[in-house]
A = this chain, B = another copy of it.
Amino acid sequence: MSNNNLIKGSLQTIILKLLEENERMYGYEITQRVKELTAGEIKITEGALYPALHKLEAEGLLSTDIQQVDNRVRKYYSLTNDGQKEVTSKMSELQGFVENLQRILTPDLKPGFNI
């Protein structure tokens, strides 16, 4: 939800990174964690999240493990070995992108341009 058309492309990175920090999480938990970490400013929609999780699993980056908790089904996701490698890769990709964005958008800050 929310007015964020910017998440595009970074949802996978968010999922992978949260799973690196938390060992295992289920879908709904991810939406709540993101909402909590951003004071409600970023809301991951279920229509975006679940297909993304299924895709990451199909690519072999995540593994699942279904559990019954209080008569409710929870599908826990964890990183595979490939998934663990992908976190590092995706994180440096995102960091690089944000740095490039800053080079474009903040012409004042140009490290390396000293007289």
Contact = CB atoms under 8 A, between A and B. Distances in A.
A49 interface: no
A85 interface: no
Say whether chain A's binding surface is mostly helix, strand, loop, or mixed. helix
B8 A41 contact: no
Contact of A103 (B3, B5, B21, B38): B38
Nearest to A22: B107
B37 A104 contact: yes
B96 A41 contact: yes
Interface residues of A, number: 30
Given A6-B9, A98-B98, A105 B93 contact: no
Contacts of A94: 6, 101, 105
Contacts of A93: 3, 6
Nearest to A3: B93
Interface centre among A17, A38, A107 (most CB of B within 10 A): A38
A89 to B, nearest CB: 11
A100 B41 contact: yes
B6 A97 contact: yes
